[in-house]
């Protein structure tokens, strides 16, 4: 137990006490699992529904020896690697999560000062603190000599907090002034910082409408694919002369390959891979702009965000304060002002000055500091300090304390209140003749020093950008509501004086969030509650911050965004990290999110139309016992020219279209009817030529019909046809012509030059099919944009992302 030495001072734990506590597990270490293990990550990305479907098809193709038709297996490997590598990066960030510094600490044991590691501290240890130390574990102060802590990373309040004897200390706070001795009352996982760490480390995936929509499609296909595969295989055996004959002469292998061709055609494998590649490309582009994407779908989410929550410190402001103005009280002649500046420079230059006084130094670099001898050091308890220059005692501190006993201080107090209401932190410089330790009746106020938090130069324009985009901004800060409101007003936000979050109840929070934008005295738990309340109100919420107090809110937000200068805990749980802390990079992130989701919507219809016609073709040929119309090579050329290559090229193009909810519904309204049209056209052409006994001509005609209808759908989805998109469509059309006209390519893909009758049949079917696709496309566009707005034009106001130009086009 803690005992007193012969001098009456605490001597700390004895060696046997420490051994007992270590044996009891009462030490300052934790054994929590930071994140999913390597095997869990690999297993989660390898054993997916998508990989199961394609993997089974791949095994079947390899078993029958059709190596040339197994190329689709590369999609499994690529998609697995992209997902696993991305998650491993997130895991490394989570594993590095640390709120507490790992330096050595000083404790009292057996009456002697001893240095120990953070993990060696035990329950009831007596820990010595001095300026620059970080509190290693929760506890209670036993002795304080002007001890002041910066708890902003824990509570969000930027002002230092005085800690007299008996005050509670929380792990993670930093000592900014004074010294003290405290007893540890909580260690390890019970500590405040460790509780936040453990909760923040819980693994979770960011919500992605693209990923969720694709997964829903895969679930539906999984219910169809097994019975369809068996039915298709059985029909191909019948088409080869029956099961007995097929197994006798080995043609069952051809039936397997054709069945696999039908199955693979149903799975939108390119869509899954292209989504991963598109996310990865966006992450690389953002990395060049010093934006770290810790989970790939995060680039999509900011395009959907409609509420952005900001912690004032670190986002609107850079977390530091500076001298904004020196306001002389009285005549303020040049000589007097020069002396005032010299005294303030001397106070700021004192090695023992508190952080607020030191913050004046950059603005006074050109001033020769006055020679001062500190009489009374600053403390939060007194709220003032004093120094002597040989003639005069100078007092510097809180105005309301220093002028409390003066009769004619009314104007000073009024001026202080006015400046404080405008967001300034106001300190008073006063003087008294001679050397006087305590302020008395002869005190004379000389000047006010107005300090102000540094507002980021990019904050106002970035906030205006989000306003133009229809994103509501909420400022959630631990500071005084009036101060927060003043700073918010300075960057163009509607503050209404600010709301004191301490007055809110669980019932009133949601209503206040709907009507107000600036909140002060918000606790870390409340920030989390605010995020939940906004989400319950139907909003997609992004949260930015830099302190530990923001970590849990960032974790639960739809998109957490951390500043690069923030705490390790905050950066580890965030989905995006602004490495250079430039708030102005957010519009660029929005631009990448819009490009991804708008372009993926554009190309998803190509893949899902393929899934639709693949299912219909497989079902029809199985029921009528026709050979499957295509070899896997035919589907390769169809997929390359009308889906895969153009989809990749279109997905990379710039696109600033505003996000619109309902991605999957809009895609299916186009893909399913267009897929039905394509299947009907192919069956009409193939069936006619197959019944005439011309199998090679039937497959060629079916392939050409599908290519022509696919190219028309591609052209529709590429609208409005910019030069880049026109070039993509033209290149694919030329590729189709080359595949038919160039002899080696034609033979490789098992095609023939169509006969005049087959060519006429293809032309008629393609014209009808393309006309129906055009009708369906225009109908879908009218339904999506009432009033006949043209394809590709966003609904509502559009501002080119990342430009900050403010140019709006109203539709």
Q: For domain 3-31+99-200, give the fold.
A: 2.70.150
Token pair for 379:
């403390």
Superfamily holding 231-240+249-282+591-784? Calcium-transporting ATPase, transmembrane domain (1.20.1110.10)
Report the first-to-last Cα separation within the chain, whole angstroms.
76
Residue 706 has a pLDDT of 94
Which residues of the chain does CATH 2.70.150.10 include? 3-31+99-200
Q: For domain 290-317+456-589, give the fold.
A: Rossmann fold (3.40.50)
Token pair for 517:
């934008």
Question: What number of CA atoms fall less than 13 Å from residue 131's CA on the CB side?
Answer: 12
Calpha distance 478→525 (Å, rounded): 11
Question: How far, CA to CA in Å, does 420 sit from each of 327, 332, 425?
Answer: 14, 22, 6
Which residues of the chain does CATH 1.20.1110.10 include? 231-240+249-282+591-784
556 in catalytic set = no
Question: How far, CA to CA in Å, does 80 sit from each of 51, 730, 790?
Answer: 8, 33, 38
Residue 805 has a pLDDT of 33
User: Residue 635 in contact with residue 607, Cβ under 8 Å?
Assistant: no
Its pTM surpasses 0.75: no
Question: Which among 138, 311, 556, 558 is annotated as catalytic?
Answer: 311
Calpha distance 748→755 (Å, rounded): 19
Which single residue is written with the structure tokens 């709907």? 514
| Residue 554: its H or E element | helix 551-556
Residue 396 has a pLDDT of 93
Phi, psi of 218 (to 5 degrees): -65, -35
Which residues of the chain does CATH 3.40.50.1000 include? 290-317+456-589
Token pair for 264:
């693979």
* pLDDT beneath 50, residues of the chain: 4-7, 32-35, 93-94, 97-101, 203, 786-811
Instruction: Sheet with 384-388: list strands edge to edge.
Output: 317-328, 444-455, 425-433, 392-397, 384-388, 373-379
Residue 737 has a pLDDT of 93
Q: List Cβ neighbours of 795 (8 Å cut-off, separation of 6 or more).
A: 658, 660, 785, 789, 811
Find the angle CA(585)-CA(589)-CA(591) to the nearest 5 degrees. 115
Question: How far, CA to CA in Å, does 190 sit from each of 26, 156, 638?
Answer: 10, 21, 61
CATH code, 324-452: 3.40.1110.10
């Amino acid at each position: 137990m803690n005992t007193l030495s012969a001098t009456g001072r605490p001597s700390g734990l004895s060696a046997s006490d420490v051994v007992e506590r270590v044996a009891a597990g009462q030490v300052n270490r934790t054994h929590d699992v930071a994140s999913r293990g390597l095997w869990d990550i690999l297993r989660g990305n390898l054993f997916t529904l998508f990989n199961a479907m394609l993997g089974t098809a791949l095994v079947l193709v390899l078993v029958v020896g059709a190596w040339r038709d197994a190329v689709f297996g590369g999609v499994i490997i690529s998609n697995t690697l992209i997902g696993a590598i991305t998650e491993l990066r997130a895991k490394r960030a989570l594993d590095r999560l640390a709120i507490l510094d790992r330096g050595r600490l000083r404790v009292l044991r057996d009456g002697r000062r001893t240095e120990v590691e953070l993990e060696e501290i035990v329950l009831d240890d007596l820990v010595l603190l001095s300026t620059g130390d970080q509190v290693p574990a929760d506890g209670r102060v036993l002795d304080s000599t002007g001890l002041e802590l910066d708890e902003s990373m824990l509570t969000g309040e930027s002002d230092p907090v005085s800690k007299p004897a008996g005050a509670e200390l929380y792990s993670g706070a930093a000592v900014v002034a004074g010294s003290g001795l405290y007893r540890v009352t909580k260690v390890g996982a019970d500590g405040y910082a460790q509780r936040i760490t453990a909760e923040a480390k819980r693994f979770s995936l960011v919500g992605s409408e693209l990923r969720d929509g694709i997964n829903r499609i895969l679930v539906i296909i999984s219910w169809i694919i097994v019975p369809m595969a068996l039915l298709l295989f059985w029909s191909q055996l019948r088409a080869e002369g029956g099961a007995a004959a097929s197994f006798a002469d080995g043609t069952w292998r051809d039936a397997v390959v054709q069945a696999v061709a039908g199955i693979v055609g149903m799975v939108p494998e390119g869509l899954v891979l292209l989504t991963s590649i598109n996310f990865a490309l966006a992450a690389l582009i953002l990395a060049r702009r010093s934006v770290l994407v810790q989970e790939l779908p995060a680039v999509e989410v900011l395009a959907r965000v409609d509420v952005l929550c900001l912690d004032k410190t670190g986002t609107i402001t850079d977390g530091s304060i500076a001298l904004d103005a020196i306001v002389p009280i009285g005549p303020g002649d040049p000589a007097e002002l020069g002396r005032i500046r010299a005294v303030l420079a001397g106070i700021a230059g004192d090695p023992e000055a508190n952080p607020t006084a030191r913050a004046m130094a950059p603005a006074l670099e050109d001033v020769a500091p006055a020679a001062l001898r500190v009489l009374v050091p600053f403390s939060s308890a007194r709220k003032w300090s004093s120094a002597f220059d040989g003639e005069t005692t100078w007092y510097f501190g809180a105005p309301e304390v220093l002028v409390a006993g003066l009769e004619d201080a009314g104007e000073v107090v009024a001026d202080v209140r006015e400046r404080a209401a405008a967001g300034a932190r106001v300190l008073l410089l006063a003087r008294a003749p001679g050397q006087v330790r305590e302020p008395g009746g002869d005190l004379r106020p000389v000047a006010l020093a107005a300090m102000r938090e540094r507002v980021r130069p990019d904050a106002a324009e970035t906030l205006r950008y989000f306003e133009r985009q229809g994103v509501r901004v909420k400022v959630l800060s631990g500071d005084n509501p009036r101060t927060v409101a003043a700073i918010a007003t300075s960057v163009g936000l509607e503050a209404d004086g600010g709301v004191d979050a301490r007055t809110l109840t669980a019932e009133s929070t949601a209503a206040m969030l709907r009507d107000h934008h600036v909140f002060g005295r918000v606790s870390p738990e409340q920030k989390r509650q605010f995020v939940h309340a906004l989400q319950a109100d139907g909003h997609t919420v992004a949260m930015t911050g830099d302190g530990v107090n923001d970590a849990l809110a960032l974790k639960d937000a739809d998109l957490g965004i951390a500043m690069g200068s923030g705490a390790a805990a905050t950066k580890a749980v965030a989905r995006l990290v602004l490495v250079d802390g430039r708030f102005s990079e957010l519009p660029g992130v929005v631009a990448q999110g819009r490009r991804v989701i708008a372009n993926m919507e554009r190309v998803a219809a190509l893949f899902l139309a393929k899934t639709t016609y693949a299912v219909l073709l497989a079902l029809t040929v199985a029921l009528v016992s026709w050979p499957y119309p295509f070899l896997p090579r035919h589907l390769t050329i169809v997929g390359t020219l009308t889906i895969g290559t153009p989809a990749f090229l279109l997905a990379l193009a710039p696109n600033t279209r505003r996000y619109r909810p309902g991605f999957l519904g809009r895609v299916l309204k186009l893909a399913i009817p267009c897929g039905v049209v394509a299947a009907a056209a192919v069956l009409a052409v193939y069936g006619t030529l197959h019944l005439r006994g011309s199998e090679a001509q039937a497959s060629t005609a079916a392939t050409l019909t599908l290519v022509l209808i696919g190219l028309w759908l591609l052209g529709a989805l590429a609208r409005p046809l910019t030069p880049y998109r026109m070039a993509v469509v033209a290149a694919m059309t030329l590729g189709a012509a080359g595949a038919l006209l160039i002899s080696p390519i034609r033979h490789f893909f098992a095609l023939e030059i169509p006969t005049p009758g087959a060519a006429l049949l293809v032309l008629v079917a393609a014209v009808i099919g393309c006309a129906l696709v055009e009708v369906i496309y225009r109908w879908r566009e009218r339904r999506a944009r009432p009033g006949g707005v043209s394809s590709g034009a966003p609904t509502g106001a559009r501002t080119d992302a990342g430009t900050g130009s403010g140019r709006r086009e109203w539709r």
